[in-house]
Amino acid sequence: MFNKEDRKQFDRLCEKIRDGKHPVISAKSIFTCPCCGYPTLSSRCKDEICPLCSWIDEGQDDKDETEVYGNGNFNYSLKEARMRFAVDFSIYDPDDSVRSIPDNNDIQIRIRKAIVTIYDLIPDSSAQATLFDIVDLLLHYFKKETLHRIQKE
């Protein structure tokens, strides 16, 4: 389930990376997603799609997590999307036909679980920089492959 303390820890780590105070080599994702809580975004509040959970960051966060903005996240509140991702590794209800990204196949869910597992190792690891770089590269490859698949459909 979405954990605000873990997100705060990632926010602090991302701030160090942005300030050049942490030895991450190639990380592109230096802001945490308001939905899954992992550092998957290159900026905040600019309609960027989280490559891990598929939430579109329209600026919604804890203070308005129960509101449904509509727009790119359809009829999902941030709170509902967080709960779904924590259980199913997807923010979308599998029975919902309005999903914009078909992301519930077994391979994609296994990849998400693996990425989350690596992310969960980062805060307590002495190899933070290496793990952060590895998961960042995996995440951007996953995003590229997902976009490529959507364009083919």
Give 45-87 pLDDT, tens digit per residue.
999 999 899 899 999 999 999 999 877 888 899 999 999 999 9
pLDDT mean across residues, the chain? 81
Give 96-122 pLDDT, tens digit per residue.
655 545 566 778 888 888 888 888 888
- 142 vs 67, more confident: 67
φ, ψ (nearest 5 deg) of residue 40: -120, -5
For residue 113, give its domain range.
4-152
Please check the confidence at residue 152 and state whether its pLDDT lies above 70: no
Please check the confidence at residue 11 and state whether its pLDDT lies above 80: yes
Please check the confidence at residue 144 and state whether its pLDDT lies above 80: no
Q: Give the pLDDT confidence score for residue 139 in this predicted structure.
A: 79
Mean pLDDT of the region 37-46 = 91
Mean pLDDT of the region 26-42 = 85
What is the tally of structural domains in the chain? 1
Beta carbons of 107 and 24 less than 8 angstroms apart: no
Rounded Cα gap, residues 112 and 119, in angstroms: 10
Between the alpha carbon of residue 33 and those of residues 36, 58, 115, 150, the distances in Å are: 6, 11, 14, 22
Q: Give the pLDDT confidence score for residue 65 in this predicted structure.
A: 94
3-class state of residue 36 by DSSP = coil
Q: Give the pLDDT confidence score for residue 135 in this predicted structure.
A: 81
- Among 26-30, 37-41, 101-105, top mean pLDDT goes to 37-41
